[in-house]
A = this chain, B = another copy of it.
Amino acid sequence: MQKQEVTIYDVAREAGVSMATVSRVVNGNTNVRKETRDKVSAVIERLHYQPNAVAQGLASKKTTTVGLIVPGLTNLHFAELSKGIDDIASMYKYNIILSSVENNLLSEEKVIQGLLNKQVDGVIYMSNSMSNKAREAFARTNTPVVLAGTIDESNEFGSVSIDFKTAENDVFNLFYKDGKRKLALAVGDEGAFINKGNRIVYYKEFLEKNNLGAANVYDHITSYEDGYELADKLLADNVDAIMVTRDLPAAGLVNALTDKGIKIPEQLEIVSATSTNIAKVVRPHLTTVQQPLYDIGAVAMRMLTKLMNKEELDEKHISLGYTLQYGQTTLNK
């Protein structure tokens, strides 16, 4: 921290008013005569006075800071969400403290406690599922929390996301309609993979309902290389359609199959459950579930501002629409 050269006290002295008046001017309180306001403003300008937000925070018990918990910076999925959050946050003059929980240097619980100690006014949570210790810490401090792009089983927190179940059913129905019967699911690692547990459940329900036999779930499919190496297994298992939870490994899979001379989508259909720039870069283009990531982030942040203002929420969970983006990795009959 730097040496604080000029304080509210200096301004008060120079302007010949009390610090209370300066505070009023700084905070736009209307109970100040125009002349006084102008006089004070001039001094503020002249001395380059800038309020110390830390002192403001201590005195007012508001820091205009929100914590952001992401499972990983380098996943574009979260970057897109963050952008929506960031835009709304800056619109409402909030700063964002970024906390990544991908490196396990600190446990999620410690990271959250650190955020709470910094007296953030609220938290946006984008990871997969929250530990109980973390829940307790939030409860103890009653700091508002909103989940963005993920859901909360306990319905304890506000949340904004698409309807994952319907989306997944749409994908498998598409496969089914295209005549595919050996359907598979590839999921990534915990944490970064939203709603992983439920996704597997939905998948199995679909198989059962349609009498499609045993499940083929491929786990830990996270990187491009994971996707690339998945190709052989799929061929060995005679899979003819697969939903992959991220587009990066999906792109790896597409390239691997192309290298092997497999016809996509004729022999194997592929859909990615998330969509970033990568989906359009790869050839053939991926068919994806297009989540309105920016909007999810923006709506979540908007919801958080309401919570921080102690406003009532119309609904605790907001479900945003998704679109099935038809690319060239499905037949689209």
Chain B residues closer than 8 Å to A118, beta-carbon distance: 53-54, 65, 95
Contact with B along A43-68 (1 / 0, CB 8 A): 00000101111110110011101001
Q: How far is the CB of A271 from chain B (nearest CB, A)?
A: 17
Chain B residues closer than 8 Å to A50, beta-carbon distance: 113, 116-117
Chain B residues closer than 8 Å to A1, beta-carbon distance: 57, 61-63, 119-121
Cα–Cα, bound, A73→B72 (Å): 12
CB <8 Å contact, B63 and A86:
no
Q: How far is the CB of A92 from chain B (nearest CB, A)?
A: 11
Q: How far is the CB of A22 from chain B (nearest CB, A)?
A: 15
Near B by CB (< 8 A), chain A positions 220-271 give 224, 248, 251-252, 255, 258
Is A90 interfacial (CB-CB < 8 Å)? Answer: yes
CB <8 Å contact, A103 and B119:
no
Cα–Cα, bound, A86→B281 (Å): 28
CB <8 Å contact, B97 and A97:
yes
CB <8 Å contact, B119 and A54:
yes
Is A106 interfacial (CB-CB < 8 Å)? Answer: yes
CB <8 Å contact, A277 and B90:
no
Contact with B along A65-97 (1 / 0, CB 8 A): 100100001101001101100110011000111
Q: Known pairs A50-B113, A91-B105, A258-B283. 11 more at Cβ < 8 A?
A: A1-B61, A50-B117, A51-B117, A53-B117, A55-B58, A73-B86, A87-B105, A90-B106, A96-B97, A224-B277, A248-B281
